[in-house]
Structure 1
């Protein structure tokens, strides 16, 4: 017999949060598998980011759906190309977007800016050009 279970956590979800329905056949397995289940729906995150090698150094602007993974790839020099060739591994700025089209549009916009505008953008949020991913654990 097939049962349907609603997975929610009243401590985490508000009345406006959608409830996710999971069809299953075995009530014991669903109870054992989901001791704690948290889901925010079909919400994606996209990032536009700026890397450098030093304060006022070479700049790279990129876009990704997983900022931690992408910064790790840059730091570990896993991807051949511009960032590896110039040693760009310091994350000095990023913006988050829900929709990929918005992130792509912003990336293209920033790439068309002159250098001083990019520097001003970085320094408005990160005056000392600190590596924002310095303490991240990968």
Structure 2
């Protein structure tokens, strides 16, 4: 499966990181790069169910490829969501259904930091993305 350019960049950046502290800093930086959602966009209709932290998600189809925007008030979650967006933005609906979430965060060296609740939350975000494509 082809990786979006931003996902390739993320993978290279995180694989070059030496240890968890550097990855944690990178994670926060990626989260800060997410464009903020407006108050109107941070509504209940865009809230993802199944996340301990509040995550808002929106998606739109552009020339057969999906583009997602998301935000969270939790810094760590915002970073993880930013990395998920790097992995999925620009994919078709079929490619989106094939994304291996644990595999992706494993490639980034972040799988040990994904507690079961964070893993479930990110999976809920991915499932919501897939639902938006239907």
Tell which has more relative contact order, 1 or 2 (C-alpha 8 A, sep 6+). Answer: 2
Name the larger-Rg structure: 1
Shorter-chain TM-score range: under 0.3
Q: TM-score, normalising length from structure 2? A: 0.27
Q: TM-score, normalising length from structure 1? A: 0.26
**Structure holding more strand per residue:** 1
